[in-house]
Structure 1
Amino acid sequence: MKVTMLIHEAPEDVAARTDPARAAAYWGAWKAYADALGATGMVQGGAGLQGPETATLVRGAAVLDGPYSETREQLGGYFTLEVPDLETAKVWAARCPAAALGTIELRPHLVMMG
């Protein structure tokens, strides 16, 4: 089954990406996690995302520049995984560095009918 893991982090945690005092620990944890997850062979894709201030929303004919995050957490990135079952995805979501303070959302991909 294909699942996308959406990684939501608090703004102060996202700020660690560029904070000289915290960047090494932040990126070190993410590198270790991404390497371990990648070694499973389940990763189909993924990326870290720039902050919501870089967002552009398109609603109908209107194009609006961000930020538009209406929650305390920001979507910081995602992984697309091919997993044997949802339980496997849950195990890896719990291991994610952002899981301790943020939210990891797992979304199974929709299988198109017809």
Structure 2
Amino acid sequence: MRYMLLFHYAEESDESIGPEAVEAGMRAFASYAATLEQAGILVSGQVLQPSAASTTLTSAGGELRIQDGPFADTKEQLGGVIVIDVPDLDTALEWARQAPPVAWGTVEVRPGAVHTEAGSWVPS
């Protein structure tokens, strides 16, 4: 079953974190991704640009609204995601415990419902 690990953490700039911490975080993510790859469960991963680069679409009263930036008024951002394919939630939680953002933010584990393969939707 596919699970998505969603990484939420405080939105800070590289300057406010400092170059050493940025480099340490990059090493931690690279190591984590390599571990998932070696275990044969990594489906994909993506580090996201800051939430200020996002555009949010909503519909109100049948009218489409497009808003620059994140819709949620929060100090945390969705900073990245990793999709893994493991047998069950307990296994997904074991892998999520090892995710670097556990040390500085929140890791949300959510099962997939469907995904695309070769242009078709298939159950996860």
- TM-score, normalised by the number of residues in structure 2: 0.79
Secondary structure of 1:58's counterpart equals strand
**Cα deviation per residue 1:37-68 (whole Å; 9 max; x = unaligned)?**
11111111120001110010111211110143
The percentage of aligned residue pairs carrying the same residue is 37
Taking the aligned partners of 1:78 and 1:91, their CA distance within structure 2 comes to: 16
Task: Indicate if the aligned counterparts of 1:17 and 1:23 stay in contact, CA closer than 8 A.
Answer: no
Superposition deviation, residue 88 in structure 1: 0.9
Aligned length: 112
Q: Work out which of the two has the higher radius of gyration on C-alpha atoms and give 1 or 2.
A: 2
1:108 aligns with 2:108: no
- Give the strand-richer structure, 1 or 2: 2
Task: Indicate if the aligned counterparts of 1:10 and 1:72 stay in contact, CA closer than 8 A.
Answer: yes
Secondary structure of 1:98's counterpart equals helix
Secondary structure of 1:7's counterpart equals strand
1:62 aligns with 2:60: no
Taking the aligned partners of 2:35 and 2:52, their CA distance within structure 1 comes to: 31
> Which residue number corresponds to residue 87 of structure 1?
90
> Which residue number corresponds to residue 4 of structure 2?
4
Secondary structure of 2:81's counterpart equals strand
The gaps in structure 2 that reach 5 residues or longer are 115-121
